[in-house]
Structures are given as structure tokens and as C-alpha cells.
Amino acid sequence: MNMKIIVAKDEKEIGCLAADIYEQLIASKPDCVLGLATGSSPLPLYAELVKRCDEGRIDFSAVRSVNLDEYRGLAPEHPQSYRRFMQENLFDKINIKRENTFVPDGLAEDADAACRAYEDNITSLGGIDLQLLGIGHDGHIGFNEPDDDFPLTTHVVTLTEMTREANERFFSCLDEVPHEAVTMGIGTVMAAKKIIMIVTGAGKADILRQLKYGEVRPELPASVLHLHPDVTVFCDEAAYSKC
Ligand code: GLP
């Protein structure tokens, strides 16, 4: 198995260990392309990246970034949009240039054309050097939900009720959670040179066990990572408790 699993004592340690990888990458390739993610899991890492930027240890001035996904129907300034999440938790706190940050457009009228343009942009940036992932309770990555096959490229998805309910905590009620999203495909993620996944909390123990021991199958989208040559999963003891 290629997938490396590192069990850290807590989220802060995960943030530091993962930030070391970013620090090394950005020092060796200042204009690298970072694939970024939203959700609670990346927050300790983002806090550590902000700290290291403040300390002058990481310079984001030439870094480019592409985000995994965005809700359909939410404007960039909507409080629950992933663009806004990225601005508030990372971009506004580091010296990355706004024009070097890309998040799928949740309002594009021609969604399919926007998805193709998003893929083309990743290609023209030179591909993703380091992709960050969380994992949904059903094993989704980005918003690639369990399915009959692995979707290859950026596309529009209908969110499962499980995913909508898991994300309800960010909205005032379930009705407000969008039914659709735009997400990079599994192929887009797998084309990244290196992948980091962060999995924390007892609520993720079952899915981490399934990921660790499960076969590669589209009903568990994250299982595809077993086929990637350079994946590191950082988890805390609670998430690892059933492994
Ligand atoms: C959402 C995001 C995923 C994220 C997942 C888990 O569905 N689209 O990218 O990995 O939530 O989020 P959390 O880290 O908050 O558990």
C-alpha cells in the first residue's frame, strides 16, 4: 500500500506536520500550484500557514492555488461560499495574490463550459503540485459522492442528503444548504503530484477504517487514493481509533 498514514496526537500537531510539507515545497518551488480544500479539517493547517507567513518563513507571493469545489448558487461573497471561506481562513491572512487564487464559479450560467474552463486553467498553470483533501462521512473527496464510476474532470454534482446534513452546521437551516455543487473530478485530484489528506475526530473513525482497509471502488470515492503514488493521510488518535 502506498498510502502513508501518520497518527498525530492532536490537530495542532497535524497542522505543524502538514505545514512543514508546504514550507518545503514553497521554498523549492515558489510559484507552485496548491490544490486547496474547505471544511473543518484543514483549519489547523491554515492557521499554521498564516503563522509561518507572519513569521516570514513562508512567502506566498508567487504561489497559485486552485480550490476543490464550490456550492452551486452561492455568490462569492455569500457567508457560506467556499470562496468566502478561503478568503477568511487563509487568503486574506497571507501574502497570496487574489488573482492567483481560483475557486470554481458557483454562479456560472453555463456550468459545463465553466467546468471545462476550470480544468483548462489547471492545465495551463502546469498542474497541481500538492492537493489537500478532507473526507466526507460517506467517503467523498471534494464533492465527489459515492457513485457507479469515478468522475474524471470538474463537473456539477447533486449533493447527497448525508452531505447536506453534514454541512447544515454552517447554515441556519437544512433548507439553505444548496443541492448542487461544482467539484474537481477524481481524475483532477489524482493528477496532482502529491496529495495530503487530513482526517480528525471520532466521527471520522468508521470512514477512515473503511478507507484504510477497503478495496478501490467508486462507492467509496476516497479509496481511489490507494492508486496514487504519493498520498499522506494525517489523522488524530480519535479518527484512527477503529483502524
Ligand atoms: C465538504 C467539502 C469536502 C470536505 C468535507 C468534510 O463536503 N466539500 O471537501 O472534505 O466537507 O468536511 P469537514 O472537514 O468539515 O469534516
The pLDDT of residue 1: 59
For the question of whether the overall pTM of this predicted structure is more than 0.85, the answer is: yes
Instruction: Output the nine-digit C-alpha cell for 41.
Output: 479539517
For residue 101, the Cα-to-chain-centroid distance in whole angstroms is 14
Q: Which of 23, 138, 168, 180 is catalytic?
A: 138
Calpha distance 127→37 (Å, rounded): 16
Secondary element (H or E) of residue 65: strand 64-67
Is 228 among the residues known to form the active site?
A: no
Query: Do residues 105 and 183 lie in contact, with contact meaning Cβ atoms separated by under 8 Å?
Result: no
Query: Do residues 225 and 197 lie in contact, with contact meaning Cβ atoms separated by under 8 Å?
Result: yes
- Classify residue 236 by burial, with Cβ atoms within 10 Å: 0-12, 13-18, 19+: buried
Calpha distance 159→98 (Å, rounded): 28
| 54 CB-side CA count, 13 A | 9
Calpha distance 59→33 (Å, rounded): 13
Q: Residue type for 87, please?
A: Q
What residue ranges line ligand 1, CB within 6 angstroms?
37-41, 68-69, 134-136, 142-143, 163, 167
Question: Mutate which of 11, 14, 41 to test ligand 1's pocket (most atoms within 8 Å of Cβ)?
Answer: 41
Q: How far is the CA of 24 from the centre of ligand 1 (A)?
A: 26
* 3-state percent helix, strand, coil for the chain, nearest multiple of 5: 40, 20, 40
How many CB atoms are closer than 10 A to CB 49?
26
Q: How far is the CA of 138 from the centre of ligand 1 (A)?
A: 11
Closest atom of ligand 1 to 40 CA is 15
CA nearest to 141, candidates 239, 207, 76: 207
Calpha distance 179→207 (Å, rounded): 23
Q: Return per-residue pLDDT of the chain as tens, 243 residues.
A: 579 999 999 999 999 999 999 999 999 999 999 999 999 999 999 999 999 999 999 999 999 999 999 999 999 999 999 999 999 999 999 999 999 999 999 999 999 999 999 999 999 999 999 999 999 999 999 999 999 999 999 999 999 998 899 999 999 999 999 999 999 999 999 999 999 999 999 999 999 999 999 999 999 999 999 999 999 999 999 999 999
Is 69 among the residues known to form the active site?
A: yes
The pLDDT of residue 45: 98
